[in-house]
Structure 1
Amino acid sequence: MLLGLLDVARRAPDATLAIFPSDHFVRNETMWLHHVERATDTVAHLPEKIVLLGIPPDRVDPGLGYLEPRRPLPLGGGAPAFEVSAFHEKPTTSDARRLIAGGALWNSFVLVFRLPAILMLLQRSLPAAVAGLCGRNDPTGLERAYRNLTPWNFSRDFLARIPDSLVAIRADDVGWSDWGTVEAIERTLVALGRNPPWGARGTPRWRRRESHSSIATADQRLANFT
């Protein structure tokens, strides 16, 4: 991601950018875009902030990131926006349960921000990573730079360190799912009344681990998004 940001900075240094993961599912695209527009408006008012779309959890999932909202921001109508007191990347199951009980939101990893703001924050948090890639345009230089870089995680090593620079937009009624696992895809398809094409051999693995009441709750929740 850093290399892409630096590339955009060479062509449009004052740009406002939105980052969308490629492996997510959204049922209500109209409402989803409404929340993205809300995030863009928030960045226009708070150009020094990184705005993330936060999803209200419907289960305990230690495989996701969690945003702990703090004070609501007085930004007028639209989806609620909050300061962030802490960012937790893939907590333990017990910590995830505690965070949900306290009102935490899942991190959808959809981010909206001003390019100068995020590059300044990256420079402060990960100066060696930024210095290692700055000005590396040729393939040979990039290959050498990547060999010398220390691996780092955008969520754990960056976002989790700058909660005061984050804003969370609560994205309700979108039917969101992170399709990073087969189980997540199966969960969505079954909730939509569609059998996974690979499920003909038997009950999907995730259904054996969850109670029928949990399935019914998830099905009803997604049905309400139509």
Structure 2
Amino acid sequence: MSESGAGLIYPVILCGGSGTRLWPASRESMPKQFSRLVSESGSTFQATAARVADGGVFGRLCVLSHAEARFIVAEQLAQAGVAADILLEPERRDSAAAVAVAACHAALADPQALVLILAADHVIGDTAAFVAAAQAAAAGARAGHIMTLGISPTGPSTAYGYIRRGAALAEAPGSYAVARFVEKPDAAGAQGLIAEGALWNSGYFLFRADVMLAELEAHAPAVLAAARAALSGAVRDLDFVRLEAAAFGQAPKTSIDYAVMERTTLAGVLPVAFPWSDVGSWDAVWSVLEQDELGNAVRGRVELIGTTGSLVHSQGEQVTAVVGLADVVVVSTPDAVLVSSKARSGEVKELVGLLRAKGYPEAEAHRRIYRPWGWYQRIDIGERFQVKRIQVTPGGRLSLQKHYHRAEHWVVVRGTAEVTLNERVVLVHENEAVYLPIGAMHRLTNPGKIPLELIEVQVGSYTGEDDIVRLEDVYGR
């Protein structure tokens, strides 16, 4: 960290979650933080990155992501025009390990660096108010407190944890010591907490790196030791930093709330009142979307008759129509449909667990699968054949590969494909095709300036994704 960086707040976005409560739109292959569930202009991850882009307040962004999502993270940051250090977690160990890595990473440059921990999937309705709150909380963090932002409740929600305020902090006007963190209460408990002035726990934390490291050493030394070892053994892979897997796997799987915040005597809270939601359920998504005069929020190709207070979300080209229902959630995707009451939409996580237990592939993956070079989507599949639609971004390059059980036919429908076929390299233009025999070494590249789209027809005794033998791959897979 340079001298010019003194006083800046260094934001860290944690985006390793899978978002199963928003299935089927959010799945392991494309979690909610990367989907356009609440805005057509971008994902909540992109909105979070843009929110901390003011170079006069915030330093260089750091993102901690699950390794499988690395190319989605990089692509969406590029789309948003935001530069960042991207640290890859080899497995999910909950937020304590992630925060420990973030603190260690910041301390390498400046032990007293101010670190702001952010979730990737929150919706905030007033960016200016958020930035002002971060600056106000920074006063407490510089004085040695671990600050959090406490949201002024808009109602007795049972979906959030609460924070009871203690004495005012002299070092940070408008802030308070945390008297107690309270787990998600029942309805009566939530009502009582609001009556006594408790705040919603936003999950945002702002601290000096050295303070957090000292508290981790005192309260969660195993987490800190694993984080230090994982960062010490990290290796660079393209634009990413891969944490050392064996060391990171030794971190106890626990949240930063349990590991530190509920034990430390340094916790402080700044009450804030900007519009906020963690969009943790479909009911919460409904609450942040624009609603019509009947209380309905719709996305996509939707038609309603006699329906009130409902969320209807339709992805793809199909029409989703709802007649005569009230207070429901209907989510339609090309390969799955969810129908739930709004009141019980929080149980979708349990539903996904049931689908996983029964072996439904739709529990984990969308029909459209994203890759570092673009994406592919299955159109049809049957005995001895499969048809896919493939899009390759400009400059994208698939691995040099071969198959033991299938041949492939590629038909270009948009752009120009550079195709390596054994020792030959040919250009295939729109409305032209190329045949790839079983066992042939081949590679697909988009050398152009526009996305390359093609239809792939696979024919053979087996068309599974594991019949790919990669001989060379620029993405290091």
TM-score bracket, normalised by the shorter chain, equals 0.7 to 0.9
* Paired residue secondary structure (1:13): coil
Aligned residues: 204
1:205 and 2:328 correspond: yes
Partner amino acid for 1:51? Answer: M
CA deviation after TM superposition for structure 1 residue 92, in Å:
3.9
| TM-superposition CA deviations, 1:140-199 (whole Å, max 9, x none) | 98322233332111113321222x311111102x11111222221111114698833161
Q: Structure 1: any 5+ residue segments left out of the alignment? A: 211-226
Residue pairs, 1:28-177, within 5 angstroms: 28-44=126-142, 46=143, 48-74=144-170, 80-136=174-230, 137-138=232-233, 142-162=244-264, 164-172=265-273, 174-177=274-277
Q: In 1, Cα distance between the equivalents of 2:213 and 2:292?
A: 40
Look up the SS of the partner of 2:185 in the other structure.
coil
What CA distance in whole angstroms lies between the structure 2 residues aligned with 1:119 and 1:65? 24
Larger radius of gyration: 2
**1:221 paired residue number:** none
Higher relative contact order structure (alpha carbons within 8 Å, sequence separation ≥ 6): 1
Q: 1:215 maps to what in 2?
A: none
- The secondary structure found in structure 2 opposite 1:148 is coil
Question: Residue 88 of structure 1 contacts residue 160 of structure 1 at CA under 8 Å; is this kept in 2?
Answer: no
Greater shift after overlay, 59-68 or 18-27? Answer: 59-68
Give the match for residue 71 of structure 2: none
2: distance between equivalents of 1:129 and 1:161? 15
Closer, same or farther in 2 for the Cα pair 1:18/1:145, shift >3 Å?
same
Partners of 2:103 and 2:115 within 8 A in 1: no
- Equivalent in the alignment of 2:28: none
Give the match for residue 108 of structure 2.
Answer: 10
Q: Does structure 1 conserve the Cα–Cα contact (< 8 Å) formed by 2:162 and 2:199?
A: yes
2:284 maps to 1:184: yes
Structure-2 separation of matches of 1:72 and 1:180: 31
Q: Deviations over 1:96-135 (max 9, x none)?
A: 3322222110111122111101110111110111122323
Q: Which moved more, 1:124-133 or 1:94-103?
A: 94-103
Structure (1 or 2) with the greater helix fraction: 1
Give the direction of change, closer, same or farther, for the CA distance of 1:12–1:75 in structure 2 (3 Å limit).
closer
Q: Distance in 2 between matches of 1:57 and 1:186?
A: 18
Distance 2:204 2:267 in 1: 12
C-alpha displacement at 1:17, in angstroms? Answer: 1.2
Q: Note if contact 2:139-2:172 (Cα within 8 Å) is conserved in structure 1.
A: no
CA distance in 2 between counterparts of 1:97 and 1:107 reads 15
Letter in 2 for 1:149: A
Question: Residues 11, 192 of structure 1: CA spacing in aligned structure 2 closer, same or farther, 3 A cutoff?
Answer: farther
Q: 1:196 to 1:155 in 2, by over 3 A?
A: farther
Change (3 A) 1:76 1:70: closer
Equivalent position of 2:120 in the other structure: 22
State whether residues 89 and 155 of structure 1, in contact with CA within 8 Å, keep that contact through their aligned partners in structure 2.
no
C-alpha distance in structure 2 between counterparts of 1:34 and 1:11, whole Å:
25
| AA aligned opposite 1:205 | V
Could you tell me whether the CA contact under 8 Å between 1:39 and 1:169 is conserved in 2?
yes
CA 144–33 in structure 1, closer or farther in 2 if over 3 Å, else same: same
> What is the TM-score when the length of structure 2 is the normalising length?
0.39
Higher share of residues assigned strand? 2
- Give secondary structure in 2 for the equivalent of 1:158: helix
Which residue identity does 2:275 align to in structure 1?
A: G
CA contact (8 A) 1:89 1:160 kept: no
**Distance in 2 of aligned mates of 1:81 and 1:191:** 35
What is aligned with 1:213? none
